[in-house]
Structure 1
Amino acid sequence: MRRRRLMHVVRGFGTGGTEMMCLRLTRHWQKRFDQCVVSWSGAPNTLEAEFRGIANVTLEMAPAGLGNVARGAWLHTLIRRDAPDALLIHIFGHPHVIAAFAARSAGVRAIAAMAGNPPPQTVGQRRHWSAILAASRFLRCPVVSCSKAVEREFNNLGAGMPVGSAPIPNGIDDDAIAAAVDTARNVRSKSRPVIGMVARLNEIKDHATLLHAFAYLRGRHVEAELLLVGDGPLRRQLEEQAKRLGISMQTRFVGERVDVLDLLGGIDVYAFSTTRAEGFGIALIEAMAAGIPIVATDVPACREVLGGGAAGLLVPPGNAAAFAYALSELLQNDARRCRLVEAARDRVKREYSIDVCARRWEQVLFPASEPANAMEVRCAS
């Protein structure tokens, strides 16, 4: 009996949240499925080597210069060749509709698309997203939201979700992250405290408020360093802001990195300053697993992940003074840090482990069927 074949479609092999989620699922399933990971755009390729290092996984990249429709035709040919049992699309929008059409026309029975962010707020964009949901319903392609907060926002569109849609929170290998970060922490040369954030430097996040909050801290003579991991279109603007605030010497922009776990080992308080457009924040649960106390913006996604504030401090959106006060509280209050860290690790284990996440995805992709390893279990017994 052949193993099930699963095909993933990602926007590219960059270090974005959806690409990292695909990487984790692919690793988790390497002993259970034969997998193919398709790069829709062909770039960037930061994670390509990590994908290639996974057993029973092949990679395919869309030829350069193709438009979305031509990519759909190319994907249709690829699907006909590989005959996957299921297609998991780690993109929401026109590409996922085109990929779903390619899969349905090629005879794939199980497909699903991941939605990593809530719908936009402008009327025109919300109509556009409603049309995408209508196309998804027609193609019988469930849209799986990365959080309950995102699912609520989709339901508020009033367009109706495809049958089989359900929220599946992102997952991480929490034990491996904790071990790697503890190792990095043990070899750290302690100096002044470090406040850190790992995220794309784009309009979905709110690094500007964090920079203002850090300037407040420095103004109160709190000795600390700010570490910003990630890159994006707002980098130059944020670097200029740090200069204007007089904190450029204490703020490090280190760009996109593959050694994030080592960097987490050097962070004393994790800051997650973001906007209502935040869908989940994989970096947030990584910090929880790493045992770093957290201050985050009180938006629906963060409130959900942090259990309403039980696993991290929540501050009002855009309020730099409140953010600075919360950061100062965690830098100075050892007992509170320890309580939050313990609650966060327990919550990650219960809700956001890769084991839990993968089981939920399997229920969507292979409903009402025996587990993929049922044959192996029977043979072993």
Structure 2
Amino acid sequence: MTSTETVPADLAPLPALAARARSTGGSPVRDILAVTARPEVINFAGGLPAPELFDAEGIAAAYRAVLTEAPARALQYSTTEGEPVLRAALAARTSVRGLATDPDDLLVTTGSQQALSLLSTALLEPGDTVLVESPCYLAALQAFGFAGARVVAVPGDEHGMDPGALEELVVRERPKLLYTVPTFQNPTGRTMSDARRAAVAEIAGRCGLWIIEDDPYGELRFEGERVPWIASYDGARDRTVLLGSFSKVMAPGLRLGWLRAPGALRRACAVAKQAADLHTPTVNQLAAARYLADRDLDAHVARVAAAYGARRDAMLAGLADALPAGSAWTRPEGGMFLWARLPERYDTTALLPEVVRHDVAYVPGAPFHAGEPDRATLRLCFVTQTPDVIAEGLRRLGAALRGRRPGPGAREGVRVSDRPIR
């Protein structure tokens, strides 16, 4: 019960919320988006695909086809594991990309975010230790925190987590699982090298460790060569859960994701899913399968990636003028995000209200850290706006950062995780 809620004198107070609900806050990114929804704000804060690049016609045609040809099936309950025709198509796409997969290896989920929730339910007891990257995808931190896990960050650099540091933490902390977004990571945009993937797989195999390999962005490559999934390495084959999603390559509103996992864990996730939502919407699954059968998703993804690459280049071209001298940033080969670090004296959370007053927004880096946050960091999404809008947004960002010089009290600014930025 919040401080604003009162109980009538003749009624007893209600029992308290569960401890996990009381101790887990909301999403700082949601808070930021709520106050940057004004149309005049150029928003680099969200992780939203560009809506003008959705194949709306192709998706609509797929829905029309399934609702015309098989309405009873499309509108009926389905199996928890997912529609067989969709799992077969997903298995074929995964196998072609170097990881032999059978349809029965897959569980369709309501977005890959649900997969994280199901895995947390199936694997984690309160107090279990989870290792994550530093920084880490924010919603994964929330999922593990809600499960009552103890989350420990693995140090790394521009090539991903440090295998030596990982092994030390595995020996010392005895974690149950490691969570990683190795390709075009959220929030940094970095990609783990082939050598480090092999090392992570070897450590997991030798030390006894589950790996959750989250890959929502891997198909959005602008340059460079594809790096194999960790799940394809010998040491990790029987202990890696690979997560995929249509949110970034087809449309997030479909809420379609999937997990590929060893049998016992996959079955446990299916039981957890039965309790959560019975199954992912049938009509969405059948429409996605029909789209894959009738359209060339790879060609569509190539067009989207080319547009995103141009938008990344526009952001990279303007960062030197927008950010203070001494700043550094990543140069992602794909995905949706880049990560910047301002000089040490800056606090990007404290600066954000002033930046929003200039009608531009970013996400401060602090909430993405499981341990001590680096308050001089920020995440920028470069895919939602066109190059011209990106240039204008960076002009506004530069004006905002030049207009307010950080002072001794800068670190006492708004705490994004507690309330919306105003």
Q: Mark yes or no: TM-score above 0.5.
A: no
Instruction: State the TM-score, normalizing by the size of structure 2.
Output: 0.28
Instruction: State the TM-score, normalizing by the size of structure 1.
Output: 0.31
Q: Name which structure has the greater RCO, CA cutoff 8 Å, separation 6+.
A: 2
